Amino acid sequence: MIEIIDIEKPEDSNIIIGQTHFIKSVEDIYEAIVETNPNIKFGIAFNEASGDRLIRKDGNDNKLIDIAVKNAKNIGAGHIFVIVMREGWPINILRALKQVSEVVNIYVATMNKCQVLIAKTDLGRGIVGVVDGEPPKDVENDNDVEKRKRFLRNIGYKR
């Protein structure tokens, strides 16, 4: 059976959901974020899969920490982490997150509405996939290409 979990987040925030494997993950993820961009506001939640099986939390914005914890609890799978962030983009921190030695996988990094697909077994719950946003409406035309390029240059990601 697949369960669909709606991810909650403020409209002006991004979310990153991934899999990791050790209790120190929450601290190492925190360090990776602030070392990359100390101005990002964020909350992290990490679900332990053994031992005390607590939701570990950290961050620099209490509201975002609470939202990350709520999403991690709703997902309910072990060894996953949720980051909710503002004043930065996933592209700013994804490379650093992937370098954290405990991080196994990144399932999604998005500002879109998203859903996590959960499988349940007698052992527990696991993420089997993520639905990120809505399906495409059409293929970009020449004007859309120019608009995309202009946007990337306006926000400083291309010259």
pLDDT value at position 117?
Answer: 98
pTM, full prediction:
0.92
Backbone angles phi, psi at 18, to 5 degrees: -150, 180
Q: Which CATH architecture has domain 2-154?
A: 3-Layer(aba) Sandwich (3.40)
Helix H segments across 51-120?
62-75, 90-99
List per-residue pLDDT tens for the chain, 159 residues long.
Answer: 899 999 999 999 999 999 999 889 999 999 999 999 989 999 999 999 999 999 999 999 999 999 999 999 999 999 999 999 999 999 999 999 999 999 999 999 999 999 999 999 999 999 999 999 988 999 999 999 999 999 889 888 777
Give the start-to-end residue ranges of the domains of the chain.
2-154
Dig out the tokens for 78 from the structure.
């072990």
pLDDT value at position 159?
Answer: 78
pLDDT value at position 23?
Answer: 87
Nearest alpha carbon to residue 2 among 134, 132, 135, 125: 125
In the 8-state DSSP scheme, what is residue 101? T
pLDDT value at position 63?
Answer: 98
Nearest alpha carbon to residue 84 among 7, 5, 6, 3: 7
Give me the half-sphere count of Cα atoms (radius 13 Å) on the Cβ side of residue 108: 21
